[in-house]
Structure 1
């Protein structure tokens, strides 16, 4: 065999390492961090798992229960180097909690960092990837969120970041247990370019902040394409801006992660949270709840259980919506049109208003169907509003047939989301 072919074959296992069969559609679940921070224990986790069931969230696809930072003891096992849980928080051990979660028909996840310490100051996994992965597998872990704090400067180029995060990817695969790998390196070094073959998802920006549009110097970048300091305290609508050019990198088994959802944590209005949920769904971000699901308002539950919006996120086509245009408004903010394709000639589009005033605008269907071409876009479409309920109480009521344009009114900081189907196809379905 030729030396060059031998060399190529020797790297193929690494290149194909992500073939774990997971996250064929964006993962859904709940995580401790946004609401509880370090204030967690085994009862927090089990209660949340039970609440996923009692609220029917599991039936909508929310099936991962994720323990974030601060589950760890002060130090590793001194004799083996294995990770150890904080027994004051998890007296029965992590495995017992995982077993309880599994007994409910749910999946269990855990957290670490590709650094010497986690962001909360606990021990990290840098240099301990193999033993940590093996321990997680023995505990029954199904998901790893892997952070980027205290990375010893091992970043600055895609190659350096790739090697550090790939070490854990290889270690997880070596366990033989399918473990969803959620990279959390904040968009540093452009993970959408190097993580496709090693992770099921990757964070694209600094940490989300429960606010619609407030600027903070700790999240200084205006674009993630050449961002040198992703930071944190990133307002929700800024992260949507960051995501706009990156949808082309998302696909089955590998997704752009816009961070965990803040819906229900109190920092935004109902309409702002509708925008939050809608846009995360359209760009195919993982939908990971971050509120206290044991104590939710009816408004919060209404948003996170909109099965028509969830269906857009979980569409088997795996195609993220793209921003067609963004137009600045005299009063500040802008209005944006996003559009994407779904399976079976279904299409979705959204009109988002970030301005301080309500807006009414004519939307050209040629813009909506820009990618499908002028002939297709000139047709007649049956359009449904995915944030309105029909007479049976189901999300997604038909608002009419449209050709050429559609007039849309959008409240301040709100987003309207529509499903479009060629009218001829819609008529055939009604006859059937």
Structure 2
């Protein structure tokens, strides 16, 4: 009899332990979900390696940029350190150098489940030391992925982890990225397709990834949904950034909002055409932002760019891509590989006025602030712009400003400050000539009967008149508050 009582007591005890464990796991899941829902409540701020290293970032440069990030950007609220594409490529190198001899690696490093692994060429110690150091510094780690599954994994017919399915069971061999042929798309109607994405995201979560930049994804809402679902089941809070931009169909907005950032431009480089594209995107996507979902106009191409693409002999550096190709085809240039990115190693070719315009636009439009240039060599002027407290305050206000005035190539955009009778104004001279301009309060969308304290951010002075001389492609950046 006593033996039976002991058995009952033990059964109740272990059942209680099991229930507590289940409740604990349920609470952990709930806490993780709540944390995920709070992600990116303001536009994310960070650094991405593409502008400075293309798809050829290597271990030494990654660590140097990470340490510089912690010193120069973290004190101003920047938190995401993002390694762009190519981290899995076993690149052919130019003899005796770390420079690539091919645009995209022909050989990829992946495991028996078709999941990409760090390049032994560029990351001989793997990514974990970089991820761990990132977290030690109080920063968050991000990485780039391409939509789909490696074509080489399909050829090897790797198993989908945890299932009876293989790569050839889930692949769509007709779906190939136009500019990078390393992957096939995944047919989400096939059994095992979701499980493949789950296994890939679970690997990222196990590594400690906090941010995913997913490329070639915007035109494929089914795969956006699959990746968002995979992130949810991983139980790790991960910011999802959709890329590339360009032709983004607004009809897919519901799928886009499963992510936290939506690229709406092509790659933006240090040239006026990129600024013009950002203005066009601002008009098109104005008002679509909300906490947890931001309209992304690509990286900030300040500082040193394209460090892994030294200018070859016989190249001036100002030729277009088409001109370079023509010279290669004619035999005028030889042994030149057109690498990822745009152009050759250089300091950003923006003028100071273009830089003021660029960063003011980013502030007023609440576009995520993702620095692209090399951080260890960053010049003082670029650093001052991207860490300006007033600019960051405007950006982190999280409101995409609206166009309130347009005449003779002059545009005035206004961003109200949340829960306040103040805000910010950008007066942009979008012409190729300098302009002397005078405005009324009405032109600036300010109440004529209200007194305001108005501060010129870039000149760092208070003003009481609206008379300005604005250089070609320049800007006046104002902060106002009702007095």
Is the TM-score greater than 0.5? yes
Tell whether the 8 Å contact from 2:405 to 2:444 is kept in structure 1 after alignment. no
CA distance in 2, matches of 1:419, 1:413: 20
Local SS of the residue matching 1:336? strand
How far off its partner does 1:125 sit? 7.4
CA distance in 1, matches of 2:61, 2:197: 27
- Which deviates more, 276-285 or 245-254? 245-254
CA distance in 1, matches of 2:285, 2:35: 20
Partner of residue 361, structure 1:
437
Q: Does 1:408 align with 2:468?
A: yes
CA distance in 2, matches of 1:284, 1:384: 20
Partner of residue 202, structure 1:
262
Alignment of 1:121-270 (within 5 A): 121-123=181-183, 126=186, 127=193, 128-148=196-216, 155=219, 161-186=220-245, 187-190=247-250, 193-195=253-255, 197-213=257-273, 235-264=274-303, 265=305, 266-270=348-352
Q: Normalization by structure 1: what TM-score? A: 0.77
CA distance in 2, matches of 1:419, 1:256: 22
Pair 1:39–1:310, CA change in 2 (3 A): same
Q: Deviations over 1:263-288 (max 9, x none)?
A: 22412111101111110111000000
How far off its partner does 1:116 sit? 4.7
Could you tell me which runs of 5 or more consecutive residues in structure 2 were left unpaired when the two chains were aligned.
Answer: 1-32, 90-106, 151-176, 187-192, 306-347
How far off its partner does 1:58 sit? 0.4
Partner of residue 47, structure 1:
64
Q: Does 1:58 align with 2:79?
A: no
Pair 1:416–1:306, CA change in 2 (3 A): same
Equivalent residue for 2:38, pick from 13, 17, 21: 21
Q: Normalization by structure 2: what TM-score? A: 0.69
Provide the aligned C-alpha RMSD in A: 2.4
Q: Does 1:108 align with 2:108?
A: no
How far off its partner does 1:122 sit? 4.1
CA distance in 2, matches of 1:181, 1:82: 19
Partner of residue 478, structure 2:
418
Q: Deviations over 1:90-128 (max 9, x none)?
A: 122122211111111111000012245675554477454
Q: Deviations over 1:223-262 (max 9, x none)?
A: xxxxxxxxxxxx2222222222312101111000001111
CA distance in 2, matches of 1:61, 1:122: 35
How far off its partner does 1:61 sit? 1.2
Partner of residue 373, structure 2:
291
Q: Deviations over 1:167-222 (max 9, x none)?
A: 11111111100000001141422377334530101001211122013xxxxxxxxx
Tell whether the 8 Å contact from 1:192 to 1:249 is kept in structure 2 after alignment. no
CA distance in 2, matches of 1:22, 1:297: 31
Local SS of the residue matching 1:207? coil
CA distance in 2, matches of 1:378, 1:207: 44
Partner of residue 132, structure 2:
99
CA distance in 2, matches of 1:58, 1:124: 37
CA distance in 2, matches of 1:346, 1:59: 26
Local SS of the residue matching 1:365? coil
Local SS of the residue matching 1:274? helix
Equivalent residue for 2:399, pick from 311, 314, 319: 319
Partner of residue 5, structure 1:
none
Pair 1:81–1:196, CA change in 2 (3 A): closer
How far off its partner does 1:362 sit? 2.2
Partner of residue 85, structure 1:
118
Tell whether the 8 Å contact from 2:109 to 2:119 is kept in structure 1 after alignment. no
Could you tell me which runs of 5 or more consecutive residues in structure 1 were left unpaired when the two chains were aligned.
Answer: 1-15, 156-160, 214-234, 329-333, 371-375, 390-396, 424-432
**Count of aligned pairs between the two proteins:** 355
Q: Does 1:32 align with 2:49?
A: yes
Pair 1:17–1:125, CA change in 2 (3 A): farther
CA distance in 1, matches of 2:252, 2:449: 34
CA distance in 2, matches of 1:188, 1:312: 26
How far off its partner does 1:164 sit? 1.9
Local SS of the residue matching 1:112? strand
CA distance in 2, matches of 1:367, 1:172: 46
